[in-house]
């Protein structure tokens, strides 16, 4: 089966398959105009949203489905206007991909807390039924960090799942896990995450998938990229990841890097006190829920059906061209 554009060349082919002279170097200016507003060639004022709505990112995809756990659901990035009350990196990617593509549809099947096998068992069937041409799959973090799973056995499960998903001919995006080396307690899994990441590269190579490598995204070592629970990303972290995913797909976009506010000076004693507060408030309750097998069966995917990215209460361009609160 034909699989369109594994890594899209923005300077060669438009979403309709035509050759074009679009080049990435023109996008930083577009992003500044989108964020700040600007002047047209004739000297008239350009409204930021009007500008962005007219800026169609050339790409070949019309139906995007995201599979995963809390990372793909967007936990840590509350947004009342988004379905499920969360935004995250996948919504941001879909927002950008939808600009100028009226028929673009997006579904997010991710549910927090799931292990990799649960993700594949519960989400693969619904994803295939939606007939996507772009699929993102992230999973295994809960297995490695909280279950101590064997990264080689985990990779075998991932390989089988990706083989099935790739049979659709869709572009598949996989994620290399982040470097938790500097995080108390969670840092013990650093070696296993690194091994799993190497296995993911093999899986991606076998099935012609694309890798969005969180480990190499060194901005994520900044604590401001993380939610206070240190298990999920902050809005700034998700924004940064969305940029990386779009860059990995080589799709022009309006997202711009944001400089987080400087961290206050912190003594060693104060830092250790913060670690204890974090463990008591976030880590221990999470571990106890897992030990007691307290499930979150009532949780459901926030976007189970493929549909327009923007809907009621969130008109087209709601977030496009707005600055991320850091």
Say what the pLDDT of residue 318 is: 53
pTM of the complete model? 0.75
Q: CB of 137 within 8 A of CB of 210?
A: no
pLDDT band at 319 (very low <50, low <70, confident <90, very high): low
- Helix spans in the chain (H): 27-36, 48-53, 70-73, 88-98, 116-129, 141-146, 151-166, 190-207, 235-248, 268-278, 284-291
Cβ atoms of 64 and 56 within 8 Å: the answer is no
pLDDT score, position 230:
72
**According to the model, what pLDDT value does residue 291 have?**
54
3-state secondary structure of 225: helix
Task: Please give the helix or strand (H or E) that residue 173 lies within, else none.
Answer: strand 171-176
How many whole angstroms separate alpha carbon 10 and alpha carbon 2?
20
Alpha-carbon span 294 to 272, nearest angstrom: 30
1 burial (CB, 10 Å; 0-12 / 13-18 / 19+) is exposed
Most confident of 15-24, 268-277, 302-311: 302-311
pLDDT band at 123 (very low <50, low <70, confident <90, very high): very high
Q: What percent of the chain has pLDDT over 70?
A: 64
Backbone angles phi, psi at 164, to 5 degrees: -70, -45
The chain-wide mean pLDDT, for the chain, equals 77
How far is it, in rounded angstroms, from Cα 162 to Cα 178?
A: 20
pLDDT given at position 273: 52
Which residue, chain included where needed, has tokens 């935004």? 87
In sequence order, the 6+-apart residues with CB closer than 8 A to the CB of 308 are: 98, 104, 105, 106
Q: Which CATH superfamily is domain 57-257+296-307 in?
A: SGNH hydrolase (3.40.50.1110)
> 23-27 — which CB contacts under 8 Å span 24+ positions?
24/250, 24/252, 26/252, 27/252, 27/253, 27/254
Domain ranges of the chain: 57-257+296-307
Question: Residue 19 is encoded by which pair of tokens?
Answer: 């050759």
Q: Please give the biggest Cα pair distance in the chain.
A: 66
- Per-residue tokens: 38: 């600007």
Which residue did the predictor score with more confidence, 291 or 199? 199
- Highest mean pLDDT among 40-49, 94-103, 308-317 belongs to 94-103
Residue 56: burial class (beta carbons within 10 Å; 0-12, 13-18, 19+) = middle
């Amino acid at each position: 089966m034909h699989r369109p554009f594994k890594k899209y060349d923005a300077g060669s082919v438009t979403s309709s398959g035509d050759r074009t002279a679009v080049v990435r170097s023109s996008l930083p200016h577009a992003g500044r105009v989108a964020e700040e507003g600007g002047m047209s060639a004739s000297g008239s004022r350009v409204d930021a949203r009007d500008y962005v709505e007219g800026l169609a990112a050339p790409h070949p995809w019309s139906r995007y489905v995201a599979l995963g756990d809390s990372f793909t659901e967007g936990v840590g990035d509350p947004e009342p206007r988004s379905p499920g009350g969360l935004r995250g990196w996948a919504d941001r990617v879909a927002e950008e991909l939808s600009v100028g593509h009226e028929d673009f549809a997006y579904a997010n099947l991710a549910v927090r807390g799931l292990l990799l096998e649960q993700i594949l068992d519960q989400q693969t069937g619904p994803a295939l039924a939606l007939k996507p041409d772009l699929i993102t799959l992230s999973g295994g973090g809960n297995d490695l960090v909280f279950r101590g799973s064997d990264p080689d056995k985990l990779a075998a499960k991932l390989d089988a799942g990706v083989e099935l998903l790739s049979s659709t001919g869709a572009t598949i995006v996989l994620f290399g896990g982040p470097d938790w080396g500097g995080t108390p307690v969670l840092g013990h899994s650093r070696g296993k995450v690194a091994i799993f990441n190497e296995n993911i590269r093999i899986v991606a190579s076998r099935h012609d998938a694309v890798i969005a490598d969180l480990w190499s995204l060194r901005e994520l070592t900044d604590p401001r990229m993380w939610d206070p629970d240190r298990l999920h990303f902050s809005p700034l972290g998700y924004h940064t990841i969305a940029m990386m995913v779009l860059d990995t797909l080589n799709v022009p976009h309006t997202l711009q890097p944001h400089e987080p506010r400087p961290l206050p000076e912190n003594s060693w004693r104060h830092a250790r006190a913060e670690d204890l507060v974090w463990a008591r408030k976030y880590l221990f309750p999470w571990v106890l829920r897992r030990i007691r097998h307290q499930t979150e069966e009532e949780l459901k995917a926030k976007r189970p059906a493929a549909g327009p990215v923007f809907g009621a209460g969130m008109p087209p361009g709601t977030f496009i061209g707005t600055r991320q609160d850091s």
